[in-house]
Amino acid sequence: MQVTIWSHFKNESWTGEIEHSSKSEIFRLFNVVDDEDALRLKSWNYNLPSLSMGDTVTVHGKTWLVAMGGWIELTDFENEILHAQAAGGEISVFDPALHRIRIVTASHTVVYEETNDNNDDGYADGAWVSWENKFSTVEKALKHAGRCRVGISGVIVTVVHDGEEVRA
């Protein structure tokens, strides 16, 4: 199985084939605990630091962030922003503050929202909270949601309408 590891400390990535597929197995594989681990990673030409909080793992087309409380699946937009922030020298030891807005059009328009930054201070609070709103038209829902962006407080806002990210 192909896996890509991105180190936020080095802003570099490694891609290779491994036999393990669970996130816990991947986390263990890419951490140096003893000399055997170091030799295995060296034989794979893996020259990044041990997998740690803030790094990402992409497998089966999905990208996961190594977070304080486990793993967070990232949207494409969130992944791009985290890479851009690291390229600009912004390395955080905290989980990113995320706000996800999903607009679903059916017989009526429903907006599902969730965030790990309930007080909008730009820092993840730990627990995710969610809520929903109903709108009479898609236009009103889009006006409410806006587009993918990084908010003033630093929260990464991802807006998805019927499965597609809404970008500028």
pLDDT in tens, 16-63: 999 877 899 999 999 999 999 999 999 999 999 999 999 999 999 999
Q: DSSP class of residue 75?
A: P
Residue ranges of the chain that CATH labels 3.30.160: 98-165
Predicted local distance difference test score (pLDDT) of residue 50: 95
pLDDT digits (tens, 9 = 90+) for 93-124: 688 999 999 999 877 899 999 999 988 898 89
CB 95 within 8 A of CB 116: yes
Share of the chain above pLDDT 70, in %: 99
For the domain spanning 98-165, the CATH number is 3.30.160
| Residue 91 confidence (pLDDT) above 80 | no
Q: Is the pTM of this model over 0.85?
A: no
Q: CA 70 → CA 19, 24, 39, distances in Å?
A: 21, 9, 26
